[in-house]
Amino acid sequence: MTVGPIDVALASGSDALAGRLLELPESQWFDRKSARIEPRKLAETIVAFANADGGTIVVGLSGGKVEGVDSDPKRLNALMQANVDFTDPTVPTQSRLYECVRADGGSDHLLVIEVPPGRTVYATNRDEAYLRLGDESRKLSFAQRRELFYDKSQSSFESELTKLRVNDVDRALLDSYVMALGAGGGSAPRSP
């Protein structure tokens, strides 16, 4: 596993954490959000990361300052559930709270949401798909969404079938395939 600048920043103590996260540029894999963001809007960024290469979202940083997320527990809970309430299918995420020091010197927390790259095309519950491109989350057109679907579907055809047994293979179809390839001088070998 490669340790990147986001991992290094998250490993910092609470006094240095927010400062290091504020220094990092937003990118293909990193975004900062205000604690005032609406959960539905946060879901757009979650979907964008899931449709791309995954990434990390830090909530509680805005305008170069540390806000933290502790001031409104109901809002924090709603933000932590944005992936369940506002994405379809549900984007799996991992949320953690990290101690930090606000701009006014008070103790608080940052919400860090890790989004893995998805194997399917994700959308918001309003059926809008987004993709992370550089430091932006872009809404996809129908054609772009279809292309993303084809790109992601290709990997599923190449996935290893781990629960397939020899008896699950259609023998007649396999024999036909072998003959079509001209690879057999008869039928495919039979398993015991």
Q: Tell me the pLDDT band of 173, cut-offs 50, 70 and 90.
A: confident
| Residue 111 lies inside a defined structural domain of this protein | yes
Asked if residue 131 lies in contact with residue 140, where contact means CB atoms within 8 angstroms, the answer is yes
| Residue 191 lies inside a defined structural domain of this protein | no
Task: Pick the range with the lowest mean pLDDT from 69-73, 90-94, 159-163, 167-171.
Answer: 159-163
The whole-angstrom separation of Cα 113 and Cα 44 is: 13
DSSP annotation of 38? -
Asked if residue 90 lies in contact with residue 99, where contact means CB atoms within 8 angstroms, the answer is no
DSSP annotation of 119? S
Residue type, 35: A
Q: What is the CA radius of gyration of the chain?
A: 23
| Residue 155 lies inside a defined structural domain of this protein | no
Asked if residue 110 lies in contact with residue 97, where contact means CB atoms within 8 angstroms, the answer is yes
> Residue 91 belongs to a domain with what CATH number?
3.30.950.30
pLDDT above 70 coverage of the chain, percent: 89
> Any bridge partners for residue 96, and if so which?
112
* Residue range(s) defining the domain that contains residue 91: 5-140
Q: Containing H/E element for 78?
A: helix 73-80
| Residue 185 lies inside a defined structural domain of this protein | no
The candidate with the shortest Cα–Cα distance to 39, out of 94, 80, 69, 98, is 80
Domain count, the chain: 1
Residue-wise pLDDT tens digits, 25-41? 999 999 999 999 999 99
pLDDT of residue 175: 83
Q: Tell me the pLDDT band of 1, cut-offs 50, 70 and 90.
A: very low
* The most confident of 9-23, 110-124, 173-187, by mean pLDDT: 110-124
Mean pLDDT rounded to a whole number for the chain = 88
Q: Is the pLDDT of residue 6 over 80?
A: yes
Q: Containing H/E element for 111?
A: strand 107-115
